């Protein structure tokens, strides 16, 4: 076991070797693994939470809620419920998002360590990793890592002689995007239909099986061991903005080198797209991009110098979301793209509330009409109305409002395309195949 | 939902108007109560709020400077003090319009052929919001339907996915064979596969569904628009709970029965026996002509003949606990007190008398169904409630949730936040203990169950009594498990705020009733204030017990002794009271057998003079329910033929017998009240025939009633004069005063813009609370000095296979079992034994039951939950004979 | 009837949760792993095993898109149809698959070898378009030709 001399710049991916299997436990520990846990177990649980708060870690699942604050909402002390849970949200299903897969396949022990520390901080004795069904390789590697930890008493009773008991189980899902919503995920983990729940009570007071439960994104939890190990100040210094740490940014679309990179929080869009992704392919121009997955508003070329952090992107009228960008080039039909998104959101509605269940399919059908030359002028009125009627507060959860973000911004930024389609203009060429879908 | 009302000490603004409201309630129910027409779908007053449909959108403002506001769902928004809301704000109005437009994208345009058309909540809300034009021009999603059995039809294309069906069926009524399948806009509400809906409350889906997905199947076979139904307020005749019904008639047939809200009793829900039990009234084999020696006789002559026979003397009358007090009283007056016998066997009469005595003397509060719902610890002693008082079982299912509500209160989560409460409470339940002959449908929510013969159950109860009051003897011969259970039950009752003891007469055990009474005495002495609910068998068991009279066994003895020439049998089938051989022999000794009944029975088949009686829907009368609540039910329509009220036949026979029983209902009620001071209160059960609303009668027909001339045109093109009603303030017309009818005499729940059953909101003093003007009925039982303990009979260990009566929701009750739909749900005769008593016979084989020479075939059910030492025999099932008290049954392979 | 293996695997999952119904999804997946799909009978068996009703198990089974309540082919092809893959030419890929297999989305080939289904984002957007056959993910199919596609399909017999 070696103590690092110098803290890493890219803590999350430091141990990940592309195209190689992840480190086993021995190598993981040799590369600084479980130092965070060892340090944490020597602290009072509340102090661990305090440290996470001080580090300015915000949830990497999309909403950006401060992780330490969330942990702090869990009842602690003698009166608190005996049974509590921590859940890793590894249901990465946001279209265009592939950052957690990297962490899960590349360094599963890092997540496990983060979960044990999180469990210790909130007093949970059981953790679940809620993994999407399609991540078969990740499931395999997580299972092996859990087995290894269990064998080495890093999971189970009296972890590292601390008196802290923690058991960890892998739950593989059976599909459905809505499972990524925190309360729907809990419903699903209880073996039910993944229907979001009313709040209050919040999961931190009554979550899984009615017990206090913290649900954190994979990337969020992976930061935890490093914060405990290297300290809050170090973590804050990794960032270029007020929020601490690095961020795994990604980019897909017609780019020269699409991919995912761990970069300082607050790295600009231009840097990500041009330096890391190599810019658009030859002959293509940027028309716009979804900054953080399918449920974020389109931004355009004028936003290239925007730092990718929660507040800056929000100020620009979108959301950082998962930080994985989807790029729209000038040869791709924007209506086809928005139609594709709407098909996805309509299909993935859980069916609980009316605007989402019945409004999204209407939007989808209108967009299909616009995309295939069957548009009508009044279609745009309905689409614009949908963006209001399916907006925040109007629906039971954030699914439909998320669906409206690309739609409303597309209607704004690419108005001409929509108006042409609504007036039965010639459908964009090069999409003959797409139409037949 | 158990209501918890707080004083209206919050002030809210709705569109500038200031209202004082209870801050623990949600804006939707408060707004409805205040008279605002705020549309909704997923909310139901008994089910609470879940925020699914998004229809009740309103705008909420932060403060007086906030003009923007934000759209919130009224059902999910508490009325916190100083909150400012607008229903008229543009954002709220457009949001509500949007939601209905979404819902209507898939809803078919089949209103003209839909049973719900004209009484459809979805229609009402659509019209209320003003949605008239469909912009959606794409294909609609479609579904296949399921066959859900004889009660409920299914048309999924109409579904708006409000989720009320599954919430009622599963979460409220405890069923697990209905659910929601699929996802997104392909959600499907039904069963896993075609098949009979298993819940005894399945019929409520018809009313819980805001549109025509779940429809009343018998009604659907030949439905009539709500506005074409002639209706009158009625009371269920199929058990002793006294649930309020609203039957509707067209063309001389009852088309359907809907729930008639009663705040203290049935609330919003009925059991399926109550909802579909009416169908016997439409049976083809019903007696409709007066027959003398099998030949038609003019009604007047028939009545005179009865009077003449009575005048001759040597007469005996047998009344009926399924007939009105008025009919029973008229018979008693006609034959004389000494010659009037109740239409119940000696064992049942003894139970009924004990029950009434206990109700008068117990220190416990007599629990209404609503009060039972608020109990926080319940002991059910010997009743299979889902068969003998199903609506009460549904209330007990809610009572166990009081633990959840307590947790919600502690966490500051409003009780109406349905899913939040369930999430917080998980499986926390108030204790319910079920002591019965075998497993019951409440066991899934019971903390503990215990199975035994009635004497065993009484013994366990005695042990509990002892634990509260050591001056009372311990129960003999209990094993350790039973003693532990007694301790558990005693602890639960002792620590409860509102403990409830439920017992009844279905086991035929006076000792069991008295032990329930003893327990109340003991609890009272221990400073725990108990409530009690004691269930007799029949709709008017308590009424006839109060009226008094010897029992039917004594009547048969007098007939057998040759004392009787004329036997008048009122709405009773003697063959359900005594073994057939005995009845045959007795009837052979009678010269004149006069039978008044609404249905053909083995007894009517032997009548010398048969007088066709009106069913509950064709008569007025008074029933006294298990609480001692006298409730009046009203004639829905005037039947064809000679059919008339039993009491009217008797009134009409009176002059020939030299008596005067008057010629109106009120006269008879007056006469009954005077003759029986204990029944004096029945006068006030409903306003008399003299009552007028703004000078007018109350019309039984809605104001849009159509076809009054046309429906008789095949007989006569002239519109007949409507029948005149001298007995009630109701009229067989559409003319009269509608609004403000007294709660006992509301013939239709309807309000402008509210055509569906949801319009009951407009008739309530508060949502989920009593009707305006108070819930109908008068509690008759004057409380006497509190009782001491009853003496206990010597306990006897099990003899070889003692007969224990089992009860069926469908089949044990005589009238309902004759209806077409329910008849398909009546089981074939069976017997149940514990595996130890199977004697090598296999489960599900046909056996011959032999009881002192009476033999019948039955399926053997071997049931590990069946009480040891007992053979369970279904009560009253077609094909199962009446057995003498202390009968022994031998089983032999068929 | 659940097989001994299925029962044993479900028992392991049951030990992970404080309530038996929580293992519903795992139980469905276990049965599906062994049999390829979940029949009505299996739904009832799982319900009996977990102490719930067939309707309750089916309500869950029909909610999740990766539980097959109808028979599927020996291999299931899931074509990612989410936005990144769409941009990178998923419609062409889907069309080619339909042609090669002679089925529409949602259908099974006549020889019972393949079932073709759409799926949302497979999380490999940087190497789009992608598809999944059984548990293998195939990436970088933007310029896939018939020969290469056939070569991929041939691995699944």
Cβ atoms of B294 and B311 within 8 Å: the answer is no
Average of pLDDT values for C82-100? 96
Low-confidence ranges of chain B (pLDDT < 50): none
E-state strands within B46-151:
57-61, 70-73, 84-86
CB contact under 8 A, B176 and C63: no
B704's tokens: 């849009």
Cβ atoms of C38 and C58 within 8 Å: the answer is no
Q: What angle do CA B298, B301, B307 make, to 5 degrees?
A: 145
**Confidence (pLDDT) at B2:** 57
Cβ atoms of B704 and B227 within 8 Å: the answer is yes
Q: Best residue in B76, B92, B102, B140 to probe A by mutation, most A CBs within 10 Å?
A: B102
User: Is CATH 1.10.3720.10 correct for A334-436?
Assistant: no
β-sheet bridge partners, residue B464: none
Cβ atoms of A292 and A320 within 8 Å: the answer is yes
SS3 at position A386: helix
Residues ≥6 apart with Cβ < 8 Å to A364: A339, A342, A343, A345, A346
Residues of A with Cβ-Cβ distance to C127 under 8 angstroms: 258
- Chain B positions touching chain A (beta carbons under 8 Å): 50-55, 57, 70-72, 76, 94-95, 98-99, 102-103, 105-106, 135-136, 138, 141, 160-161, 163, 180, 182-187, 411, 413, 417, 419-420, 423-426
Q: Is the pLDDT of residue A436 over 60?
A: no
Give the C-alpha separation, B562 to B543, whole Å: 30
CA distance A127 to chain B (A): 20
Q: What are the boundaries of each domain within chain C?
A: 4-63, 75-154
SS3 at position B387: helix
Cβ atoms of B362 and B532 within 8 Å: the answer is yes
| CATH architecture of residue range(s) C4-63 | Orthogonal Bundle (1.10)
pLDDT, tens only, A6-16: 889 999 999 99
Question: How do beta strands A85-90 and B84-86 pair?
Answer: unpaired
- Confidence band of C116 (pLDDT split at 50, 70, 90): very high
Q: DSSP readout, C76-117?
A: EEEEE-SHHHHHTTHHHHHHHHHHHHT--TT-B-TTS-EEEE
Q: What are the boundaries of each domain within chain A?
A: 25-237, 246-329, 334-436
First to last CA, chain C: 28
Residues of A with Cβ-Cβ distance to B180 under 8 angstroms: 193, 351
Matching residue, tokens 């009630």:
B728
Nearest CA in chain C to A324: C125
**Confidence (pLDDT) at B715:** 84
CB contact under 8 A, A395 and B54: yes
Q: Best residue in C21, C45, C53 to probe B by mutation, most B CBs within 10 Å?
A: C53
Residues of C with Cβ-Cβ distance to A95 under 8 angstroms: 82-84, 120-121, 125
* Preceding omega of B499 cis (within 30 degrees of 0): no
Q: What are the backbone dihedrals phi and psi of residue B804, each rounded to the nearest 5 degrees, phi first? A: -120, 130
**H-assigned helices in B236-298:** 272-276
Matching residue, tokens 């907006």:
A391
Greatest Cα pair distance, chain B, in angstroms, is 92
Cβ atoms of B668 and B662 within 8 Å: the answer is yes
First to last CA, chain A: 56
Cβ atoms of C81 and C43 within 8 Å: the answer is no
Give the C-alpha separation, B314 to B312, whole Å: 7
Nearest CA in chain B to A200: B420
Cα B131 to the center of its chain, rounded Å:
38
Cβ atoms of A227 and A70 within 8 Å: the answer is no
Q: Best residue in A208, A252, A292, A367 to probe C by mutation, most C CBs within 10 Å?
A: A252
Question: How do beta strands B698-699 and B448-451 pair?
Answer: unpaired
Tell me, what's the ipTM? 0.97
Q: Is the pLDDT of residue C152 over 80?
A: yes
Give the C-alpha separation, B448 to B463, whole Å: 16
Cβ atoms of A324 and A250 within 8 Å: the answer is yes
**Confidence (pLDDT) at A435:** 44
A107's tokens: 């360094």
Q: Is the pLDDT of residue A426 over 70?
A: no
**H-assigned helices in B346-502:** 346-361, 369-373, 385-388, 390-399, 402-410, 418-425, 454-468, 480-495
Q: What CATH number matches the domain at A246-329, 3.40.50.720, 3.10.20.600, 3.40.50.2300, 3.10.129.10? A: 3.10.20.600
Domains of chain B (ranges, CATH numbers):
10-103 (3.10.20.740), 291-344+543-778 (3.40.50.740), 359-531 (3.40.228), 802-893 (2.40.40.20)
Give the C-alpha separation, B427 to B1, whole Å: 16
Give the C-alpha separation, A14 to A35, whole Å: 15
**Confidence (pLDDT) at B1:** 58
Residues of B with Cβ-Cβ distance to C65 under 8 angstroms: 183
Q: What are the backbone dihedrals phi and psi of residue C4, each rounded to the nearest 5 degrees, phi first? A: -55, -40
Residues of C with Cβ-Cβ distance to A333 under 8 angstroms: none
In the stretch 238-257 of chain A, residues with CB closer than 8 A to chain C read 250-254
Give the C-alpha separation, B851 to A150, whole Å: 68
In the stretch 182-211 of chain B, residues with CB closer than 8 A to chain C read 182-183, 188, 191-193
Establish if C93 touches chain A: CB-CB under 8 angstroms.
Answer: no
Q: Is the pLDDT of residue A29 over 90?
A: yes
Q: Is the pLDDT of residue A1 over 90?
A: no
Nearest CA in chain A to C91: A434
pLDDT, tens only, A353-392: 999 999 999 999 999 999 999 999 999 999 999 999 999 9
**CB-based burial label for C1 (10 Å; 0-12, 13-18, 19+):** exposed
Q: DSSP readout, B557-597?
A: HHHHTT--SEEEEES--GGGTS-HHHHHHHHHT-SEEEEEE
Residue B468: which of B427, B506, B525 has the closest Cα? Answer: B525
- Confidence band of A276 (pLDDT split at 50, 70, 90): very high
Q: What are the backbone dihedrals phi and psi of residue A92, each rounded to the nearest 5 degrees, phi first? A: -70, 100
β-sheet bridge partners, residue B317: B340, B568
CA distance C130 to chain A (A): 12
First to last CA, chain B: 50
pLDDT, tens only, A38-75: 999 999 999 999 999 999 999 999 889 999 999 999 99
Matching residue, tokens 């016998």:
B341
Cα B166 to the center of its chain, rounded Å:
22
In sign, the C-alpha dihedral spanning B877, B882, B888, B892 is negative
pLDDT, tens only, B584-611: 999 999 999 999 999 999 999 999 999 9
**CB-based burial label for B879 (10 Å; 0-12, 13-18, 19+):** middle
Residue A206: which of B416, B423, C19 has the closest Cα? Answer: B423
Partner residue facing A394 (CB), from B71, B135, B183: B71
Fold agreement (C4-63, C75-154): no
Name the region of A32 (left: φ>0; alpha: ψ -120 to 50; beta: rest): left
Q: What CATH number matches the domain at C75-154, 3.40.50.300, 3.40.30.10, 3.40.47.10, 3.30.9.60? A: 3.40.30.10
- Helix (H), strand (E) at residue B256: strand B253-259
Cβ atoms of B867 and B452 within 8 Å: the answer is yes
Q: Best residue in B146, B169, B181, B194 to probe C by mutation, most C CBs within 10 Å?
A: B181
Residue B502: which of B527, B525, B535, B526 has the closest Cα? Answer: B535
User: Is CATH 3.30.70.260 correct for A25-237?
Assistant: no
CA of B825: how far to CAs of B201, B216, B494, in Å?
Answer: 14, 16, 41
CB contact under 8 A, B179 and C63: no
Establish if B428 touches chain C: CB-CB under 8 angstroms.
Answer: no
pLDDT, tens only, A334-356: 999 999 999 999 999 999 999 99
* Preceding omega of C45 cis (within 30 degrees of 0): no
Residues of A with Cβ-Cβ distance to C81 under 8 angstroms: 340, 343-344, 437
**Confidence (pLDDT) at A437:** 40
Q: Is the pLDDT of residue A428 over 60?
A: no
**Confidence (pLDDT) at A429:** 44
Question: Other CB atoms closer than 10 Å to residue B321's CB: what's the count?
Answer: 27
In sign, the C-alpha dihedral spanning B618, B577, B845, B387 is positive
């Amino acid at each position: 076991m070696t103590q690092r001399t110098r803290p890493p710049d890219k803590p999350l991916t430091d141990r990940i070797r592309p195209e190689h299997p992840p480190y086993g436990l021995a190598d993981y520990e040799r590369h600084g693994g479980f130092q965070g846990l060892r340090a944490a177990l020597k602290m009072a649980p509340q102090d661990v939470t305090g440290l996470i708060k001080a580090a300015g870690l915000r949830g990497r699942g999309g909403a950006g809620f401060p992780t330490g604050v969330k942990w702090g909402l869990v009842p602690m002390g003698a009166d608190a419920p005996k049974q509590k849970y921590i859940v890793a949200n590894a249901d990465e299903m946001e279209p265009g998002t592939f950052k957690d897969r990297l962490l899960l396949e590349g360094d599963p022990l890092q997540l496990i360590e983060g979960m044990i520390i999180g469990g210790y901080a909130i007093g949970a004795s059981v953790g679940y990793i809620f993994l999407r069904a399609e991540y078969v390789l990740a499931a395999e590697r997580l299972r092996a890592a859990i087995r290894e930890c269990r064998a080495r008493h890093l999971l189970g009773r009296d972890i590292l002689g601390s008196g802290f008991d923690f058991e960890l189980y892998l739950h593989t899902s059976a599909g459905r995007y809505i499972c990524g919503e925190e309360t729907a995920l809990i419903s699903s983990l209880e073996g039910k239909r993944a229907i979001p729940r009313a709040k209050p009570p919040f999961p931190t007071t009554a979550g899984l099986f009615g017990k206090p439960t913290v649900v954190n994104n994979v990337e969020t939890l992976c930061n935890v061991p490093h914060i405990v190990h290297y300290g809050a100040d170090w973590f804050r210094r990794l960032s270029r903005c007020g929020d601490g740490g690095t961020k795994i940014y990604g980019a897909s679309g017609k780019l020269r080198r699409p991919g995912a990179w761990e970069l300082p929080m607050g790295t600009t869009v231009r840097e990500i797209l041009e330096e890391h992704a190599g810019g658009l392919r030859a002959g293509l121009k940027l028309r716009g991009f979804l900054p953080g997955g399918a449920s974020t508003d389109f931004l355009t070329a004028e936003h290239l110098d925007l730092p990718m952090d929660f507040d800056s992107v929000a100020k620009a009228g979108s959301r950082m979301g998962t930080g994985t960008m989807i790029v729209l080039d000038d040869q791709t039909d924007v209506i086809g793209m928005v139609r594709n998104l709407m098909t996805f959101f309509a299909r993935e509605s859980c069916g609980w509330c009316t605007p989402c269940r019945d409004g999204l399919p209407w939007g989808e059908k209108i967009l299909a009409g616009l995309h295939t030359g069957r548009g009508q002028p009044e279609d745009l009125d309905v689409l614009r109305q949908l963006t209001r009627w399916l907006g925040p507060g109007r629906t039971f959860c954030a699914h439909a409002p998320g669906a409206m973000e690309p739609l409303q911004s597309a209607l704004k930024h690419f108005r001409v395309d929509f108006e042409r389609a609504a007036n039965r203009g010639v459908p964009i060429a090069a999409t003959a195949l797409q139409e037949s879908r | 939902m158990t209501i918890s009302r707080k004083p209206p000490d919050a002030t809210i603004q709705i569109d500038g108007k200031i209202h004082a409201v209870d801050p623990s309630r949600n804006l939707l129910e408060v707004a409805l109560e205040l008279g605002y027409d705020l549309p909704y779908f997923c909310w139901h007053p008994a089910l609470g709020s879940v925020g699914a449909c998004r229809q009740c959108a309103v705008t909420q403002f932060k403060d007086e400077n906030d003009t923007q506001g934000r759209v919130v769902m009224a059902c999910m928004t508490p009325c916190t003090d100083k909150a400012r809301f607008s229903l008229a704000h543009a954002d709220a109005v457009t949001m509500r319009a949007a939601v209905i437009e979404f819902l209507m994208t898939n809803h078919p345009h089949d209103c003209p052929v839909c049973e719900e058309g004209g009484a459809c909540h979805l229609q009402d809300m659509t019209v209320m919001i003003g949605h008239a034009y469909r912009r959606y021009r794409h294909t609609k999603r479609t579904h296949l339907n399921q066959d859900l059995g004889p009660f409920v039809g299914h048309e999924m294309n109409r579904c708006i996915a409000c989720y009320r069906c599954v919430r009622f069926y599963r979460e409220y009524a405890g069923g697990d064979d209905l659910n929601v399948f699929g996802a997104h806009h392909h959600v499907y509400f039904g069963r896993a596969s075609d098949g009979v809906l298993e819940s005894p409350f399945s019929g409520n889906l018809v009313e819980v569904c805001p549109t025509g997905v779940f429809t009343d199947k018998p009604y659907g076979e030949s439905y009539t628009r709500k506005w074409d139904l002639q209706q009158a307020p009625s009371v269920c005749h199929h058990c002793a709970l006294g649930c309020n019904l609203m039957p509707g008639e067209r063309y001389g047939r009852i088309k359907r029965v809907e729930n008639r809200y009663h705040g203290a009793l049935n609330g919003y829900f009925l059991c399926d026996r109550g909802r579909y039990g009416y169908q016997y009234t439409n049976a083809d084999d019903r007696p409709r002509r007066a027959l003398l020696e099998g030949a038609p006789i003019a009604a007047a002559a028939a009545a005179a003949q009865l009077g003449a026979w009575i005048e001759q003397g040597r007469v005996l009358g047998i009344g009926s606990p399924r007939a009105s007090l008025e009919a029973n009283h008229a018979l008693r007056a006609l034959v004389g007190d000494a010659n009037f016998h109740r239409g119940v066997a000696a064992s049942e009469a003894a139970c009924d008398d004990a029950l009434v005595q206990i109700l008068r003397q117990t220190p416990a509060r007599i629990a209404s169904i609503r009060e039972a719902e608020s109990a926080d610890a319940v002991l059910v002693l010997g009743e299979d409630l889902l068969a003998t008082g199903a609506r009460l079982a549904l209330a007990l299912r809610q009572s166990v949730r009081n633990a959840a509500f307590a947790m919600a209160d502690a966490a500051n989560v409003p009780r109406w936040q349905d899913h939040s409460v369930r999430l917080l409470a998980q499986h926390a339940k108030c204790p319910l203990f079920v002591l019965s002959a075998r497993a019951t449908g409440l066991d899934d929510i019971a903390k503990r169950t215990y199975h035994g013969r009635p004497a065993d159950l009484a013994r366990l109860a005695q042990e509990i009594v002892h634990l509260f009051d050591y001056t009372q003897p311990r129960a003999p011969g209990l094993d350790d498990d039973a003693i532990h259970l007694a301790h558990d039950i005693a602890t639960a009752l002792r620590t409860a705020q509102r403990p409830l003891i439920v017992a009844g007469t279905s086991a035929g055990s006076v000792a069991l009733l008295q032990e329930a009474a003893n327990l109340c005495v003991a609890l009272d002495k221990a400073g725990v204030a108990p409530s009690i609910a004691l269930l007799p068998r029949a709709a008017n068991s308590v009424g006839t017990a109060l009226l008094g009279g010897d029992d039917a066994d004594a009547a048969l003895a007098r007939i057998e002794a040759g004392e009787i020439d004329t036997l008048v049998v009122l709405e009773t089938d003697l063959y359900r009271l005594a073994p057939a051989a005995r009845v045959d022999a007795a009837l052979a000794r009678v010269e004149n057998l006069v039978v008044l009944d609404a249905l053909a029975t083995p007894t009517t088949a032997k009548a010398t003079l048969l007088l066709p009686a009106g069913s509950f829907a064709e008569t007025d009368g008074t029933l006294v329910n298990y609480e001692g609540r006298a409730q009046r039910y009203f004639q829905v329509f005037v039947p064809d033929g000679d059919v008339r009220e039993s009491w009217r036949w008797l009134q009409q026979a009176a002059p020939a017998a030299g008596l005067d029983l008057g010629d109106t209902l009120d006269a008879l009620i007056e006469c009954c009240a005077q003759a029986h001071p204990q029944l004096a209160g029945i006068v006030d059960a409903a306003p008399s025939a003299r009552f007028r609303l703004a000078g007018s009668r109350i019309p039984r027909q809605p104001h849009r009633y159509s076809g009054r001339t046309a429906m008789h045109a095949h007989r006569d093109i002239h519109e007949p004069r409507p029948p005149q009603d001298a007995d009630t303030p109701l009229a067989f017309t559409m003319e009269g005063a509608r609004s403000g009818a007294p709660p006992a005499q509301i013939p239709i729940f309807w309000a402008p813009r509210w055509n569906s059953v949801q319009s009951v909101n407009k008739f309530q003093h508060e949502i989920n609370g009593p009707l305006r003007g108070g819930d109908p009925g008068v509690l008759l039982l004057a409380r006497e000095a509190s009782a001491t303990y009853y003496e206990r009979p010597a306990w006897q260990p099990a003899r070889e296979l003692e007969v224990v009566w089992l009860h069926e929701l469908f089949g044990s009750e005589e009238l309902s079992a004759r209806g077409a739909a329910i008849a398909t749900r009546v089981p074939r005769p069976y017997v149940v034994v514990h595996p130890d008593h199977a004697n090598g016979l296999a489960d599900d084989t046909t056996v011959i039951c032999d009881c002192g020479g009476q033999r019948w075939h039955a399926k053997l059910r071997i049931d590990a939950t069946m009480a040891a030492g007992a053979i369970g025999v279904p009560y009253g099932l077609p094909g199962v004979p009446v057995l003498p008290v202390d009968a022994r049954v031998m089983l032999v392979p068929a | 009837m659940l097989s001994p293996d299925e029962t044993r695997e479900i028992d392991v999952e049951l030990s992970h949760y404080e309530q038996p119904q929580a293992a519903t999804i795992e139980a469905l997946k276990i049965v599906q792993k062994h049999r390829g799909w979940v029949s009505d009978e299996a739904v009832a068996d799982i319900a009996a095993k977990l102490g719930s009703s067939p309707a309750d198990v089916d309500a869950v089974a029909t909610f999740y898109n990766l539980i097959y309540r109808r028979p599927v082919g020996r291999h299931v092809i899931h074509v990612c149809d989410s936005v990144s893959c769409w941009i990178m030419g998923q419609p062409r890929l889907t069309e080619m698959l339909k042609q090669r297999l002679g089925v529409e989305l949602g259908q099974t080939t006549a020889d019972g070898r393949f079932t073709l289904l759409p799926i949302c984002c497979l999380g490999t957007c940087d190497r789009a378009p992608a598809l999944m056959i059984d548990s293998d993910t195939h990436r970088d199919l933007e310029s896939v030709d018939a020969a290469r596609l056939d070569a991929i399909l041939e691995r699944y017999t």
